[in-house]
Amino acid sequence: AAEKAGADGSKKFITSDLEHHGTVGAVARDAQGNLAAATSTGGINNKLPGRVGDSPVIGAGTYADNATCAVSCTGDGEFFIRAAVAHQVSALMELRGMSLSEAAERALAHAEKLGGTGGLIAVDKNGNVALPFNTSGMYRGHVREDGKFVIEIYK
């Protein structure tokens, strides 16, 4: 992205079609069934000073509840905050009886309807994993019950 001064002295930010995100997330379920989620991000390139993304906002980019699931999100933070995506996955499971996969897809679709792109990783109290995204790719990995590592980028 580049900054350009307008004729009236205002500043415009010119961005390329390729936006870079720097998010790393993890979700886990331990042997006792406790769930945890963590998200760290550098945000988007050339962000405006003072911008806060979804990662540090519990319920937007990160959420865990032993009764339902643990979720970590990446993407357009403003839309993930508005949709409370991470919490919405848990709420859809608890209040509507959805599976983790259904709830994760629905919550991500809500953010997309608002204009957001991105994805999430989630694990439920039974160890089921969901990894939906609405972008061309998302680096992700998980360990299956049989101990096999699964690492993917594209759909």
**Backbone φ, ψ for residue 26 (5° rounding):** -145, 140
Is 31 contained in some domain?
A: yes
Examine residue 47 and state whether it is found in any structural domain, yes or no: yes
Is residue 41 included in any domain, yes or no? yes
- The owner of tokens 């859809």 is 92
**Domain annotation covers residue 5:** no
What is the three-class DSSP state of 31? coil
Residues recognised as catalytic? 23
List Cβ neighbours of 72 (8 Å cut-off, separation of 6 or more): 25, 26, 27, 37, 38, 39, 61, 62, 86, 120, 121, 122
Establish if 13 belongs to a structural domain.
Answer: no
- Contact predicate 64/70, CB 8 Å: yes
Q: Give the pTM.
A: 0.84
Q: What is the pLDDT of residue 49?
A: 80
Q: Is residue 1 part of a domain?
A: no
pLDDT digits (tens, 9 = 90+) for 15-42: 444 555 678 999 999 999 999 999 998 7
Count: domains in the chain: 1
Identify the domain containing residue 89 by its residue range: 20-152
| pLDDT digit string, tens, across residues 98-146 | 999 999 999 999 999 999 999 999 999 999 999 999 999 999 999 998 9
Mean confidence (pLDDT) of the chain: 87
